Structure 1
Amino acid sequence: MRRGFSHRKKNACYAIYAFCRYIDDLVDKNLMRSLSSEESFEKISEAVNEWRQHLQALYNGEIIDHPIMIALKDTISRFDIPENLPNELIDGVNMDMSKTRYENFEDLKVYCYKVASVVGLMTTYVFGFKDDRTFNYAVDLELRCK
């Protein structure tokens, strides 16, 4: 009997994590360095949009010569991860540039969904679960962890 995950599933989870971590750091680390510079916000936004374009290219079958994108391309094609999920993560980290506080819990929930729940949803595809009950559980779990 085999224990744990296959190498393919482990590598897929690593690829998802690397993508998410890179995008989040791209915004968070750069925001910390330049809290008030409008020019810096534009540069960060341009960098994030470049990654969104790379992501679109992956889903169009193109190859992007970056280690994270190479691994992510294999993951999204092998496990059929819907295009909206990594894009929602990008939307969520973009929210970091415009908001630091949320007026109500519903707005906070939207943010948490984009930066946490979509990560759980992407890994749900890797683990082979594609039913609504599992997706709902993944969303709730990640919201509670955030």
Structure 2
Amino acid sequence: MNSITQASLSLASSHYENFPVASILLPLRLRQPIALIYSFARQADDFADEGDLAPEQRLALLEGFRQELDRINAGAVPQHAFFQTLAAMIARHKLPLQPFYDLLDAFSQDIVKSRYENFGQVMDYCRRSANPIGRLLLHLYGKATPRNIGYADAICSALQLINFLQDVAIDYRKDRIYFPQDEMRKFRITEAQIAAGDASGTWWTFMQFEIERARRLLQSGAPLGLVLPGRIGLEMRTIIAGGETILRKLHQHHGDVFQHRPVVRSWDWARILFKAIRKK
């Protein structure tokens, strides 16, 4: 294992919070390529989020990643060592490049777009920010059938929506709101209320609507956990159960993510693994 792959594994194991990334549930032959995919996404996401760079500088960094993908696509040697390792993994597993481009498009969008008028716009963002990961995993597993891709898209989009729900305050500090604006108006939720961390009034009614929609979407993809065999099926069921755990915690606290941001604790993982092993 080269140093870049080892660093990617370390990054994957240290950065996840509520959902496992390249976890020990998976065979080692899959953990390494998944860690490289995660490292690509994490680095690109950090370009959009971290530090004090100007928007044009952030976009330039993402364009640099895009140019490296172009080199891989053209059969040329990438300039940076990380992309050379990534290119070898992509070739070895015959992965499509479009999901990598889609991720970069989503991260670029985060720099220039901070509000979403309706749920269709939010889902279009999820299509590029979350679904590519599920699609790449299915290609790694050799299970990228149309039916499985549909299941994976539902799971990944649902997990992205769940992340939006738990990170309302964090995203607002970055001047981002992923709630559909038309739904905020319908439930009389204002940006001032989010800024104040105010979960009173119609907040719980609004959050119930958002929680239940995410739950239905997650459940619509849940059969994938039974379709995928062996340890990859167990990993998928664990991820789904982790999402369900966050939704349950959101419901328990009436959607008050300002005072009770949900996090999966060590004792939750025991319950999640038990559920995943039982296939329930």
1:37 equivalent in structure 2: none
Q: Indicate yes or no: 2:21 matched with 1:7.
A: no
Task: Give the equivalent residue in structure 2 for 1:23.
Answer: 44
Tell me what 2:117 maps to: 103
The structure in which a higher percent of residues are helix is 1
Matches of 1:62 and 1:95, distance apart in 2: 27
Give 1 or 2 for the bigger CA radius of gyration. Answer: 2
| Matched letter for residue 116 of structure 1 | A
Question: Amino acid of the residue matched to residue 7 of structure 1?
Answer: L
CA offsets, 1:91-112, max 9 Å, x none?
0111101111200000000111
Distance in 2 (alpha carbons) for counterparts of 1:4 and 1:62: 35
5+ long unaligned stretches in structure 1: 35-39
| Greater RCO (Cα-Cα under 8 Å, separation 6 or more) | 1
Amino acid at match of 1:56: D
**Residue 68 of structure 1 aligns with which residue?**
82
Q: Which amino acid aligns with 2:131?
A: S
Does the 8 A contact of 2:135 with 2:144 survive in 1? no
47, 51, 62: which one pairs with 1:48? 62
Secondary structure of 2:130's counterpart equals helix
- Paired residues, number: 137
CA contact (8 A) 1:18 1:68 kept: no
Give me the whole-angstrom Cα distance separating, in 1, the residues matched to 2:121 and 2:137. Answer: 24
Write the letter of the residue equivalent to 2:42: R
Shift of residue 85 of structure 1? 1.0
Give CA-to-partner distance per residue, 1:118-138, whole Å, 9 cap, x none.
111111111111210011111
Runs of 4+ in 1 over 6 A off after TM superposition: none
Distance in 2, matches of 1:138 and 1:72, equals 23
**Pairing 1:125-144 to 2, within 5 Å after superposition:** 125-144=139-158
Distance across 2 between alignment mates of 1:51 and 1:7: 27
Aligned match for 2:128, one of 114, 117, 121:
114
Query: What is the deviation of 1:12?
Result: 0.7
Percent identity at matched positions? 26
Q: TM-score, normalised by structure 1?
A: 0.86
